[in-house]
Amino acid sequence: MSFVDDAAWKLLFDEDRLTARRDTAEKKYRDLTGEQIKLMRRRAKNEPFFLASAILGNDLLSVNFHGHYLSWLRWTWGERYRMTLLPRDHYKTTTNTVTDSIQMALPVEDLQLPHPYNLGPNIKLLLTHETHEHASRFLYKIAAAFRENPLMLVMYPELIPSPRVQRMNKTELELPRDVHHSEPTFDTLGVAAAEQGRHYNWLKIDDPIGKEARDSSVVMAKTLLWFDNILSLLTRPKYDGFDLTGTRWAFFDAYSNAVKMYGVNRDKSILRAYDKRDVELFQDGLLCIYARGAIENGQPVFPEEFSLDDLNRIRRRPEVWAAQYANNPREGSLTKFDPSWLKFYNVGNKDRLVIFEGTGSRTVRTRDLDRVIMIDPSVGERDTSDETGFVVTGTDKKMNVYVLEAFRRRMKPPELIDEMFRLYTKWGPRLISIESVAFSAMLKYWFEQKCRGLGVFPSIYDYKPGSGRSKVARIEGLTNYGAAGQIYIMEGMHQLRDEWDWFPLGEADHILDALAQGPEIWSAGREPGMDYKEEMKKIEERIFGERDELTGYSVI
């Protein structure tokens, strides 16, 4: 949407200009009868595509693409939480934030409509965007519909706002109505801004996430915190709701947050942009989703404006394509690990792991594996501190890596120490690997104290990440093991699988960061079936056999 300067707003509010436009509109449509206008008003209130194209004049809308989307909007009237993910420049703001907002505010006529469409001009609606300036542009489009659109002037003369009577400025628009509210009909707000004392029947949250939020964890966290609290902006949360509209910038953005918070109403959702693996993990809930990318089945969804050649040129820039056109961060080939690289095992009897390969299976004993514990520590005292990643692996003779436990959890230093000893007692590892700086600074005192109290002395490896390699580079070191099919996990390790599938775009990478210590400390396990005591006996015999019987020193 183009920039709207003060001069444009001044013209919009000019009463002489309005009078001239009304005269022109009445002359142009003087042949319309009262019955025809009544019928058009009913259709405009009840049929989104008719309002968007025939009345508001959006003649570039596609009957197939936008007709389908606007039919979905109509189908979901009465649902409290809706989310729209459409590609950039595919008129998502025009159809949802502008058209649907106007439709909510039109008179009800004699139709039986669900909330909030039954409120008419008495509605209290909030328009939001990443920036307040953009939200103000949405308001300009809506105000222009009521004060400049010829058909709207003829069909709804009772809704024409006047700056002498109603609130009309760059941030508020009040339509003539029969109730008094402290809130205008249409209000505006920038995302993460505080709005004290005002409450609304509906929220239009348009593009709350942008490049700044994607590239800054601080900005993203602030935006997500604001979104988590949006129900406080509603007059009656039991009935009121929101539309969340935009394009996906990252795996951990407001749109993924909405899915986690509200769950998904699968029966009323169109999920074509999502990867099937992600859809399988959705929890059932209340959020109705319409998610589509710019290309489906090899063809553009909006061919009237975007040819396949145009879209293929955009695809050469993976970040732009994935975030603004595909609505699927996986689409841009930005993730580093192939999910198919991970292999799976099940737990069998006693200490055996069962691995199914092809038409057969094999088993390994955990006692034959070289077991290590790896920890990516976060030792903050706050509830908002990072989580700590824990991984226990066992490596067999062929250097296949079996992930025995993998999880992340937020905990304080004493809790972390307790968890270290729980894992040590359970798995009897050769060593515990933990980042040297964090261990020395925060954990060493508690750990040594606990060791003395329990009379055990685990071997600690001071893992040093090194200043020359970034975290992403360290984790990418797992590529060789993954691509070779050497990493085996259990089906239920969802946290690990999420981090693996989405790296480096994911919400967290603490488990992977712990696992990335592995290439530095992994060693081959024993031959399957070899008796440990017998093996140690042979080693002792070899050592003593190399010593002089008289002096006890090595003869080599």
What is the structure's pLDDT at 179? 92
Backbone phi, psi, residue 507, to 5°: -70, -30
Distance between CA atoms of 221 and 2, rounded to whole angstroms? 29
Assess whether 390 and 534 both reside in one domain.
no
The CATH number linked to 388 is 3.30.420.240
Distance between CA atoms of 482 and 467, rounded to whole angstroms? 25
Tokens standing for 225? 């915190």
DSSP 395-457: E-TT--EEEEEEEEE---HHHHHHHHHHHHHHH--SEEEEEHHHIIIIIHHHHHHHHHHHT--
Assess whether 505 and 541 both reside in one domain.
no
Assess whether 512 and 539 both reside in one domain.
no
Encode burial over 34-55: b for 16+ CB neighbours within 10 A, e otherwise: eeeeeebbeebbbbbbbbbbeb
Distance between CA atoms of 145 and 163, rounded to whole angstroms? 15
Assess whether 273 and 403 both reside in one domain.
no
Contacts 24+ apart (CB under 8 A), 422-430: 423/373, 423/390, 423/392, 424/373, 424/456, 424/458, 427/366, 427/371, 427/373, 427/392, 428/371, 429/371, 429/372, 429/373, 429/392, 429/458, 430/370, 430/371, 430/372, 430/459, 430/523
Q: Which domain holds residue 435?
A: 339-525
Assess whether 348 and 322 both reside in one domain.
no
Distance between CA atoms of 141 and 166, rounded to whole angstroms? 17
Assess whether 267 and 410 both reside in one domain.
no
Q: Which residues contact 251 (CB under 8 A, 6 or more apart)?
A: 329, 502, 505, 506, 507
With respect to residue 180, please indicate whether it lies within any of the assigned structural domains: yes
Tens digit of each residue's pLDDT (9 = 90 or more) over 244-263: 999 887 667 889 899 999 99
With respect to residue 332, please indicate whether it lies within any of the assigned structural domains: no
Separation in Å, CA 554 to CA 66, 309, 538, 540, 544: 85, 76, 17, 13, 8
Asked if residues 111 and 15 have their Cβ atoms less than 8 Å apart, the reply is no
With respect to residue 334, please indicate whether it lies within any of the assigned structural domains: no
With respect to residue 102, please indicate whether it lies within any of the assigned structural domains: yes
Helix (H) or strand (E) holding 83: strand 81-85
Asked if residues 438 and 528 have their Cβ atoms less than 8 Å apart, the reply is no
The CATH number linked to 126 is 3.40.50
What is the structure's pLDDT at 40? 96
Assess whether 540 and 516 both reside in one domain.
no
Assess whether 439 and 345 both reside in one domain.
yes
Assess whether 178 and 293 both reside in one domain.
yes
Domain boundary among 326, 354, 384: 326
What pTM was estimated for this model as a whole?
Answer: 0.72
Number of domains in the chain: 3
With respect to residue 56, please indicate whether it lies within any of the assigned structural domains: yes
With respect to residue 333, please indicate whether it lies within any of the assigned structural domains: no
Tens digit of each residue's pLDDT (9 = 90 or more) over 27-71: 999 999 999 999 999 999 999 999 999 999 999 999 999 999 999
The mean of the pLDDT values for the chain is 88
Domain boundary among 326, 360, 382: 326
Asked if residues 280 and 497 have their Cβ atoms less than 8 Å apart, the reply is no
Distance between CA atoms of 409 and 389, rounded to whole angstroms? 7
**Three-state DSSP class for 483?**
helix
| Residue given tokens 């800054």 in the structure block | 216
Asked if residues 126 and 233 have their Cβ atoms less than 8 Å apart, the reply is yes
With respect to residue 34, please indicate whether it lies within any of the assigned structural domains: yes
What is the structure's pLDDT at 321? 82
What is the structure's pLDDT at 530? 59
Assess whether 52 and 197 both reside in one domain.
yes
With respect to residue 331, please indicate whether it lies within any of the assigned structural domains: no
Domain boundary among 326, 351, 376: 326
Q: Which of 178, 190, 183, 176 is nearest to 234 (CA)?
A: 183
Identify each DSSP E strand in 221-359 by its residue range.
241-246, 287-291, 295-296, 299-300, 343-347, 352-357
Asked if residues 404 and 392 have their Cβ atoms less than 8 Å apart, the reply is yes
Q: Would you call the peptide bond into 116 cis, given omega within 30 degrees of 0 as the criterion?
A: yes
**Mean pLDDT of successive 10-residue segments in the chain (556 residues)?**
82 94 95 95 97 96 96 97 96 97 96 96 95 93 96 97 92 94 94 77 91 69 86 95 89 86 96 86 95 93 95 84 79 73 90 86 93 85 73 95 95 87 92 78 74 84 79 90 92 89 82 94 82 58 59 54
Distance between CA atoms of 461 and 456, rounded to whole angstroms? 16
Assess whether 515 and 410 both reside in one domain.
yes
Distance between CA atoms of 54 and 212, rounded to whole angstroms? 37
Assess whether 168 and 44 both reside in one domain.
yes
